Amino acid sequence: MNGIKVILLINFLILQLIWLITSSLSFRDYLNNLKKIRTFFIWSLGLLLYLQIFTIINSTYLPAVRLTYLSIGGLLINISGLILCVWAKLTMKVNWGPPAQHDVKKQKKLVTFGPFSYTRNPIYLGLMLFFAGIEISLSSYLVLLVIPLFTLIKKAVLIEEILLEKYFGNEYLAYKKRVPRFF
């Protein structure tokens, strides 16, 4: 396994570890979420990433070159996504909940500081960068999976926006005017 793949694997493990440590979901919640297509797609992407990193699946569209600019650029995109995701998750703390849901009992505060002062959806944006960065680093044609991933994320964001507007009203509407959805 080359150096880029080792770094990608470490980044992937860091992301999973942070989510595990900071999750407010119970084991039962995790099991219930496994029944959803969105969750199945996300777990499938994770498995696909592992299989690619360990070269069980070879999906490269360019000849193998040790350290190409493309691989380094993809790695930088991946690391940027990781930093953004982790920063946002740690900023949210107990206010984080499953995608496209809002638990009023747990999520009592609208988080608008830290990465949320630059983008309303730093976790989603970070995850897209994280995934795209892996695929670019591996010179993989599976980078095209960013399109259905973005579609799922956009659908979840639209649902969340309705929920946030319902629960936080004018505070959320003012935030929505001030801060872009993604960029």
State pLDDT tens for residues 24-39.
767 777 677 767 776 7
> How many other β-carbons are positioned within 10 Å of the β-carbon of residue 109?
10
Amino acid 51: pLDDT: 86
- Per-residue confidence (pLDDT) for residue 56, from 0 to 100: 76
Tell the burial category of 127 from Cβ atoms under 10 Å away from its Cβ (0-12, 13-18, 19+).
Answer: buried
Domains annotated for the chain, with CATH where assigned, are 3-178 (1.20.120.1630)
> pLDDT (tens digit, 9 = 90+) per residue, 89-135?
999 876 776 665 666 666 778 899 999 999 999 999 999 999 999 99
| C-alpha span between 70 and 4 (Å, rounded) | 11
Banded model confidence at residue 79, pLDDT cuts 50, 70, 90:
very high
Find, among 182, 114, 117, 112, the residue nearest to 154 by Cα: 182
> What is the chain's mean pLDDT, rounded?
85
